[in-house]
Amino acid sequence: MNGSLAVFKRELKSYFATPVAYVFLVIFLFFSGYLPFRQGFFEIRQADMRLFFSNLPLLFVFMVPCTAMRLWSEERKSGSIELLLTLPITVSQAVWGKFLASWFFMIIALLLTIPMPITIIYLGNPDVGAMLTGYLGSFLMVGGFLAIGCFFSSITKNQVISFILSVTVLSILVYAGMPTTLNYLSSFLPAGMVSAIETMSFLSHFESIQRGVIEFKDIAYFILLIIGWIYACIVILNERKVS
């Protein structure tokens, strides 16, 4: 636990040691606010954050890999990974420390959007519970995205390749749950297979939570997703450490 905490602090400090983190936060906050207003945030005359949360999965597809691609690719390229893995910590502690630091950084980015729900509460009478569950779903979803990005960052020292692989897999997991995709697949696939594809998608679980419905299957989906991809990352790094 102490090893993970040490890596967590080291990694979190590295985010704000350069202007990259601040540029990322500005870009994220701009698009997370711009997209809902472009789609008629005020015109729909409803005091809720549906437009904000509905745009997050597509925004995360590109923004999260930008954060995750450097986690291990940069360490491998600079050669500092050998130094890190020779410290008196396990690979698991190092991976979890880095992952939790990047997750905490993304949670900070999401919390900086709090002025939007405050404005909605001031102007109308929204369902605060749905807002809170929407943020809960966003925290879990970004954790799943980061776990996938962490894995692909561990298999290559090239950050661009890591970014492309992460975006590809995340796009598949997001677009697989869209109604247009499901309608197309249902035209030539059995209903059971289409339902299975929908279950594997981020959207079906995230949309359920953001509507204010918290079910065990949705929480378990994100937790198992995070643990599974992080475990795969640990296995990859352990093999490289042995070799």
3-state secondary structure 142-184: HHHHHHHHHHHHHCCCCHHHHHHHHHHHHHHHHHCCCHHHHHH
pLDDT of residue 223: 93
Please say whether the beta carbons of 57 and 174 come within 8 A.
yes
pLDDT of residue 88: 72
Determine the 3-state secondary structure of 109 from DSSP. helix
- Closest C-alpha to 174, from 127, 213, 206, 152: 206
Which residue ranges of the chain lie beneath pLDDT 70?
1, 39-48, 77-87, 240-243
Mean pLDDT of the chain: 83
Gap between the Cα atoms of 13 and 15, Å rounded: 5
pLDDT of residue 107: 93
Classify 104 in phi/psi space as left (phi over 0), alpha (psi -120 to 50) or beta. alpha
Spatial neighbors of 154 by CB under 8 A, at least 6 apart, are 71, 72, 95, 233, 236, 237
Gap between the Cα atoms of 203 and 141, Å rounded: 9
Gap between the Cα atoms of 156 and 159, Å rounded: 7
Please say whether the beta carbons of 129 and 209 come within 8 A.
no
b/e burial code for range 63-97 (CB count within 10 A of at least 16 → b): bbbbbbbbbbbbbbeeeebeebbeeebebbbbbbb
pLDDT of residue 115: 86
pLDDT in tens, 138-162: 999 999 999 999 999 888 888 888 8
Which residue shows structure tokens 């352990």?
238
Q: Interhelix angle for 202-210 vs 216-242, to 10°?
A: 140
